[in-house]
Structure 1
Amino acid sequence: MTATRLARTLRSLALAAATLLLTGTAVSPAQATAPAGETAAAAPELLLGQSSRGAWDDFHSFGRDADGGSVYYELRSGDWGSPAHREYAELLAEQGKTVQVGISWKDNPPGFEGGGEEAKAARSREVTAEIAAGGHTAALDRLVAFADAHPAARFTLRLDYEVSSHYHCTDASCSSYKDAFARLTRHLDARSAAGNLEYVFHPVRGEFEAMYPGDAVVDWIGVSTFAHELCLPIYDRGYLYNGTPPQNYDVAARQCRNAYIGTDEHGNPAAVWRNFDHDGNVLKLLKFAKDHGKPVVLAEAGLMNFTADAGTTHGLEEEQGEEWVRRLFSLLTYEGPIPNLPGTHDLRGVVQAVAYINLDFRYGWDGVNDGSFDFDPDTTWFVDARLSRLPGARGAFCEGLEANGFRARC
């Protein structure tokens, strides 16, 4: 462990233990690393993404005091994903905000020259193993220099995002990704003069346990939260699809239907069926994070397409957006059963940050209108998710910020 990481870890543990002793409430690494003499913050963070300052500007047209934002950095080019990413990172860093950085190699692996998605996945797995062996680290020099130039800012680095066995594991143990994660944390900590880096393990929701790199190197656990994760239907070219097996989805109630281990009338363990507002794997990930003492960031949270008719160029974002927002914030205060697990579980306070994608996806992931659509206008990705344009969703979002004690307010 480097001196930078050791000092941060010891400070985190000391402050966390003191807070737990005094209040009975656990704190996140972000809260626990408050400078000496300052009170550790208790508020969860609102991050605005993704990729461009358009998300920031839209929120601050009706709100205030967001904590940071989300951008991307490419391993292949050794640079930000685009000038817009760097400009947004500069805007955030110069204000001393949190900058969530997705360090990507699965989407554009170094050395990949084409050949389809399976070939790309194969090359991504190779790159993961190469990182574990010490390769590709020089590509991160520009990022470290940027973080060092902004010591007042905090950088939470997703070491690739929505990681999965298909794109990152060379064997069943997934030692390739675990070792790559550890190698990158050691490399970055050793070169960080400012000591303002934290590391996010962001898996696909069903593989968090098998791919977990370990408590010693993970600061945050991330999860994406779109429609399926909140048990809401997705309309793709007029076709209703939830992504959940039909027998496990209540179409009329728009909820996932699963069993948990409760008790029968005699008090004996028994399977009990009920409807859930949240995908079971998301709830299990939150429990896993709590069990490991790690805070969770909803690292990519955004509306998906609710277009009910094929060929249309607008969807049901306003009609369903309000419910989506309410379910999103309800993850921060969840108490109850978890599918296929016994008992009830208190997951309040596990989610300590939300990165809301506050952009118009009709113009691609950067939300930039360049005169063309990045996606067909009736697919699942076609959506205008800007809260300024969605009164019902915006109202629910503002209520959620206040009710959950965010610093950001409307």
Structure 2
Amino acid sequence: MRAVEIIEKKRDGDELSPEEIRFFVEGFTRGEIPDYQAAAFLMAVYFRGMTPRETADLTLAMAYSGRVLDLHDIAPVVVDKHSTGGVGDKVSLVVVPLVAAAGLPVGKMSGRGLSFTGGTIDKLESIRGFRVELTVEEFREQLRRVGAVLCGQSADLAPADGKFYALRDVTGTVPSIPLIAASIMSKKIAAGADAIVLDVKVGNGAFMKTLEDARALAQRMVDIGSALGRRVVAVISDMNQPLGEAVGNALEVKEAIATLRSDGPRDFREHCLTIAAYMLYLGGRAGSVAEGRRLAEETLSSGAAWEKFRALVAAQGGEVEQIEEPERLPRARLIREIPAPADGYIVEMRAYEVGMAAVALGAGRTKKGEPIDPAVGILVHRKVGDPVRRGEPLFTVHANAEERLAEAQAWLSRAVRIQEAPVPPLPHVYETIPAGIG
């Protein structure tokens, strides 16, 4: 078997066998297949696509390119969740301790932000002392002892995905549904997940811009999970405007804390409860999604989710006093309000432009490894459908440099559109796949 023959076969639109896919993935992971051939393979997949069976085989080969965790000595069913990325998406900070406090251990490995999308690991590093890098043994021990873990992806889990993604990022092959699906699902399989809730974002502030594309990606990932014997639900949710009010690392931690303390923005709280309900249902803690929702609400209102978050932070070396008094988290020097330019109703509050404003402030990065400023960010005070009067604050910008503030203001001026006639609010969730579950 030769790598070039596999590339040519996919280039010509033919279906690859499981053995050919495994040969290529293993050879690339070991360094026996060079980057230029892997790049050619990725471009062939980008243009020719993959069948559901090929995508499942690619996922499995990538998952087993490194260590695959077995956590069944800790929990009979291991549940995970994944978001495809968005602006103001700090859901894991709430959902992991919430579901764990409801009796279902959750060990989640997350990533860093890139471009306009935020990363859970960056947010957690706003807490002084918080350790995001754990060994697999530390991960297992904390999951057993605390029932909740939030850390970075272990380097020995699905190493093929890391190598392929680095190439996709520089060869224009990122927006490929089979490659995205295999990347996400291989990491979940390697991390030991039996059941997976996928939060597939759609809209201006997401990688999937249309409902058709989001549905195709969601269906492909659900199909992969089913083919590999996992229980999977995909929730297709809106990302045409930021989720919650806070965009920026320490600001988002503060908003997550407020939500765990039974406060926080209504749309963000609703989203967390939705994802938690599906996790509790798939994990067997609830007999239906509706029952999972009731359990999640009770756990949140009782304070148990907040206590679990405190325990998680303490276990990973974070300064608990900072989360007990959120004003002690990093704070920006310059705080400016941006007023509404006219009376009317918010028609657009574009998530992409808000996300890029946060990047301009230093809250995000334009390339991997770039340092970020945990203190800066934006508070979004109005959502689509809300009435607004001229002069009322639309945004509060937290900055540490005047020139960055000016650049962020330019982005935010393009984020909002106001009109005289009222418009309905945007939907929270468009659909779930498979339909009618629960």
For normalisation by structure 2, the TM-score amounts to: 0.27
